[in-house]
Amino acid sequence: MNFEYREAERLQALANYDMLDTPRERDFDEIASLASRICQTPIAVVNLIAEDRQFFKAEVGLGVRETPLDNSFCAKAILEQDFLLVPDATKDARFDCNPLVTGEPGLRFYAGALLKTEEGHAIGTVCVLDYQPRVLTELQQDTLKVLARQVMRQLELRRVLRDRDNAQRQQTLLNAEISHRMKNTLAMVQAIATQTLKGVAERDAVAAFIQRISAMGTAHDQLLQQDWAAASLINVIRPMLKLHGDGGRIRTTGPDIELGQKATVSISLLLHELATNAVKYGALSVPAGKVDLTWKIETGAEPFIRLTWEEFGGPRVAEPERTSFGSRLIQMGLVGKGGVEKQYLPSGLLATFEATISDVREL
């Protein structure tokens, strides 16, 4: 592998951290300060080596943020394995002609621990310098190496967080586009259904179909907010109730739990049917009627959720003589597997739905 190729890889590794020309940060300033105090040198630097310059992410004793690479000690240091120690630059053939040694400011001592990526690319150093020849103890050298590793951990953490934020922004944009297209598709389906069913005499059936499409769209919105992985039960319940304008007449109680894709759609359609029936025939068809929607987690051989829909203060209800599509949707329960018990009491409908936690979280 030739030098130009290795250097291109090294520069790309540095670019991946996106740290050149960034403002000073306390985390790095403290590392430079500690290096200066531990090694007892007037100069300490957290240094990143770019193509034609060195950028000081943190520095003590220099007062500048970058210098050209031509006379850099660190440019030589990154060619070493892990550590470069120059006790007296005037006696080192690599530096004895360096203008920073022969002229101002008269540097004599240098020690640098490399900043290396997991792939082995040297992108900079944590280094200390002095105007007098000196040596470092083994502890001081080890400290510089530890500080260099800490800098790399900081750089890696910032890269991971930045990449995660970028991924989240991309996912948000993607979700918004999916949501937009899905809403357009559902709107088209509604329009086609409206035109196709224009001549159907049973207008209630047509309206119910259109409303079910709307309920499914609301369920999909909740899934999109969680990258299609899951949805909050409370966030599924709220828009379903709002869709029917219950005005606070549907009282809800229960803990929030995570729902998988199947349960999100099933529960959305289930609540839509229950609320629609309550508005047409049940407790919500009269001003004094109310509904209690409660749910809780039960323990047993396997934890399960029990959701209860209980109506009060409405007209007397009776079990329908025929099974409609809406009734079949309700009978499918929370995850499409049943687990439904309905009672038509004098006080109103009492419906109980059960499903295991593993089923409601299934994707």
55: tokens are 């950028």
Question: Alpha helices, DSSP H only, in the chain?
Answer: 3-17, 26-39, 73-77, 99-102, 138-196, 203-225, 233-243, 261-280, 325-331, 357-360
| Local mean pLDDT, 10-residue blocks, the chain (363 residues) | 73 93 93 95 95 94 91 84 92 90 93 93 95 94 94 92 80 63 57 58 60 60 54 79 70 89 81 85 89 91 93 87 78 87 91 92 78
Q: What is the pTM of this model?
A: 0.55
Query: What are the residues facing 125 on neighbouring strands?
Result: 47, 114
Cα gap 134→86, rounded to integer Å: 9
Domain with CATH 3.30.565.10 in the chain: 226-360
CA end-to-end distance (rounded Å), the chain: 47
* CA torsion angle 93 95 99 101 (round to 10): -110
Q: What is the DSSP string of 298-309?
A: E-SSS-EEEEEE
Fold for 3-162, please state it: Beta-Lactamase (3.30.450)
DSSP 1: -
**Residue 265 pLDDT:** 78
Instruction: Write down the residue that tokens 């530890």 correspond to.
Output: 146
Q: What is the predicted pLDDT for the residue at 281? A: 87
pLDDT the model gives residue 4: 63
Burial class (CB in 10 A: 0-12, 13-18, 19+), 78: buried
- Give residue 209's identity as a one-letter amino acid code: F
DSSP string, 138-150: HHHHHHHHHHHHH
The reply to whether CATH 3.30.565.10 applies to domain 226-360 is yes
Residues 263 and 256 sit within 8 Å (Cβ to Cβ): no
* Pairing status of strand 304-312 against strand 290-298: antiparallel
Confidence at residue 228, expressed as pLDDT on a 0 to 100 scale: 47
Residue 59 has a pLDDT of 96
